[in-house]
Amino acid sequence: MTALRRLVIIVEDSSDCAETLQIALEAVAGVEVLVCLNERGVWPMLEQHAARIAAVITDLHLVSSDGFKLIRRLRSDERFARVPVLLVSGDSDPSTGSIALASGADAYFSKPYSPSAVRKKLEELLC
Domains assigned to the chain: 6-126 (3.40.50.2300)
pLDDT at 1: 42
Strand order in the sheet with 85-89: 31-36, 6-11, 53-59, 85-89, 107-110
- From the number of C-beta atoms within 10 Å of its C-beta (0-12, 13-18, 19+), residue 43 rates as middle
Dist. CA 34–CA 29, nearest whole Å: 15
Q: Are 103 and 81 in contact (CB under 8 A)?
A: no
Confidence of residue 3 (pLDDT cuts 50, 70, 90): low
What's the whole-number mean pLDDT along residues 48-74?
89
Stated pTM of the model: 0.92
